[in-house]
Amino acid sequence: MNGEGRDEQDIGFYAETYDAAVPDWPGEIRFYLEAADWAKSRGESVLELACGTGRVTVRLAQRGAKAVGLDLSTDMLAVAREKSTDIRNLRWVEGDMRSFDLDQSFGLILIPGHAFHNLLTPDDQVACLTSVMRHLTPGGMLVVHLDHQDMGWLGDLVRAKGGIFEEEETFERPKTGRRVRAMRAWAYERSTQTVTCQTRWEELDENGDIVETRETEAIRLHCLFRFEVEHLMARVGLEVRAVYGDFFQQPLADDSPGMIWVARRPEKDETGAREQP
């Protein structure tokens, strides 16, 4: 995600520890590499929106793709730049995925890691997808990774579990070598399809005692459902080519862990004339 909603001090910690705390989804990087190879075969570049620390973008560039990573967080981009100083076919841009103008077209645009959930309103979502359309070459592809909503979990947030801190993961902080316990409290607002999430990080010593605690303000994330996304794609003129339930391209099913959307900018406009990049 792009880090919106966190205060300046905690953005620094979040950026510093992001790569240690956030693992790849099963099959994810291979899926993106194959998509980037397709764009490369067309002689076209790749753009990742809400690229964060470059978890995905760096590996695409290392594979040979001409890549651009865009993110709103200065701190996340600082980490990305630090770990990619020797990669020449890669550039980083600080910007908002709702309104960016890179003066460049791309054969592939990625929005990984559930980042699209940061867009809370239809206006913001359409603005992002409109910017995507403006930057895609004719026939270019968009891949968006979304959460597949678990209605049982959302129901629990409305009832007893809402707002209660629970441990979600632990990881080693690179700077100190100490273990960090990530505690999160979730709540769900049914009227707007919005979840709120507050994170508390507890850094532990060798005895398991807490030596430092950091806590964020609550961030808000929009819960998207299948046909809502389909309508958004159609609204901006994107053609949906596939909706997968995981990165192994299994069909979306009730128990699918995610939604992987593959959409395409049409080769021709409504009059049949070829569009310009």
Q: Residues 19-40: pLDDT tens digits?
A: 999 999 999 999 999 999 999 9
The whole-number pLDDT of residue 276 equals: 39
Q: What is the pLDDT of residue 269?
A: 60
pLDDT tens track for 243-256: 999 999 999 999 99
Note the pLDDT of residue 162.
Answer: 81
Q: Phi and psi of 185, rounded to 5°? A: -120, 120
- Residue 263 pLDDT class (50, 70, 90 cuts): very high
pLDDT digits (tens, 9 = 90+) for 113-168: 999 999 999 999 999 999 999 999 999 999 999 999 999 999 999 887 788 999 99
% of the chain with per-residue pLDDT over 70: 93
- Considering only residues 195 and 1, tell me which one the structure prediction assigns the higher pLDDT: 195
**Percent of the chain clearing pLDDT 90 (strictly above):** 88
Phi/psi at 151 (nearest 5 deg)? -65, -30
Give the whole-angstrom CA distance, residue 125 versus residue 147: 15
Of residues 95 and 11, more confidence is placed in 95
Give the per-residue pLDDT at 72. Answer: 96
Q: Does pLDDT of 273 surpass 70? A: no
Mean pLDDT computed over every residue of the chain? 92
Confidence of residue 268 (pLDDT cuts 50, 70, 90): confident
Which of 110, 101, 136, 118 has the alpha carbon at shortest distance from 247? 110
Name which of 114, 138, 135 is nearest 224 in CA terms. Answer: 114
Are 182 and 169 in contact by the 8 Å Cβ rule? The answer is: yes
The pLDDT value given to residue 8: 41
Would you state the pLDDT for residue 188? 95
- Euclidean distance between CA atoms 136 and 113, whole angstroms: 20
Residue 21 amino acid letter: A
Residue 226 is which amino acid? R
Q: What is the mean pLDDT of residues 230-242?
A: 98
Strands 219-222 and 210-215: unpaired
pLDDT tens column, 182-226: 999 999 999 999 999 999 999 999 999 999 999 988 999 999 999
pLDDT, residue 9, reads 45
Pairing of strands 258-264, 239-244: antiparallel
